[in-house]
Chains A and B, each alone.
Chain A
Amino acid sequence: GAVVSQHPSRVICKSGTSVKIECRSLDFQATTMFWYRQFPKKSLMLMATSNEGSKATYEQGVEKDKFLINHASLTLSTLTVTSAHPEDSSFYICSASYRNNEQFFGPGTRLTVL
């Protein structure tokens, strides 16, 4: 149980384009979903927290107009990286939670912006 999927697992795009990443909780309803960014050999950096049907809460320093988050249902959240630039290249990981303490992570999406 508590399986979270992410799609795509890997994406390469040109600078200036937008990329959408989907995060789905497959066997439970997630009250909260989280989006993280991870640089090589570094820990997880929380970008934003989203609850179904409400606006995401962004962490300090994360541009909400650049990283658009939509949490349309209890099983789906999307992260759109708008006007991507090479410095946005990173490993993006989502997690989902249905109770306060445990987060179940997706497999991650590796974004490369050329």
Chain B
Amino acid sequence: QKEVEQDPGPLSVPEGAIVSLNCTYSNSAFQYFMWYRQYSRKGPELLMYTYSSGNKEDGRFTAQVDKSSKYISLFIRDSQPSDSATYLCAMNENTGGFKTIFGAGTRLFVKA
């Protein structure tokens, strides 16, 4: 079993839809959870960053962490064609010599 599981998609939605992206993980020691957006042939860009369980909202983006279920989500409201990209979840334990584990990434297409 991989430490982090993420459906690679592709996920195709119409413009304006609410998008739900998810990751599950197996390591209960993970404390920091991140979502990155990567456009084709570009480096990943940090979108959201949360610590432990709970929700965090930033504009059209909401990140949720459910540590009891080992499940994290990223919601995108009012999706736009410019949101079309690959979204990678990432997490780490924040111990000395921390190592961030990335999901495989979900490819999202938002159709105009």
Binding site for B on A (CB under 8 A): 4, 6, 41-44, 46, 49, 91, 93, 95, 100-108, 110
Interface residues of B in 77-95 (CB under 8 A from A): 88, 90, 92, 94
Residues of B within 8 A of A4 (CB): 43
Known contacts A101-B100, A102-B34, A105-B44; 14 further A-B pairs (Cβ under 8 A): A4-B43, A43-B88, A43-B105, A46-B99, A95-B43, A95-B44, A100-B32, A100-B98, A101-B51, A104-B46, A105-B43, A107-B43, A108-B43, A110-B41
Give Cα A46 to B44, complex, Å: 14
Does the CB pair B88–A44 fall under 8 Å? yes
Residues of B within 8 A of A104 (CB): 46
The one of B51, B92, B102 in contact with A44, judged by C-beta atoms closer than 8 angstroms, is B102
- A selection of 9 A-B contacts at a CB cut-off of 8 Å is A41-B107, A43-B88, A44-B88, A44-B102, A100-B98, A104-B46, A107-B42, A107-B43, A108-B41
Give Cα A49 to B103, complex, Å: 18
Q: A42-B104, A43-B105, A101-B94 are in contact. Are A108 and B49 (CB under 8 A)?
A: no
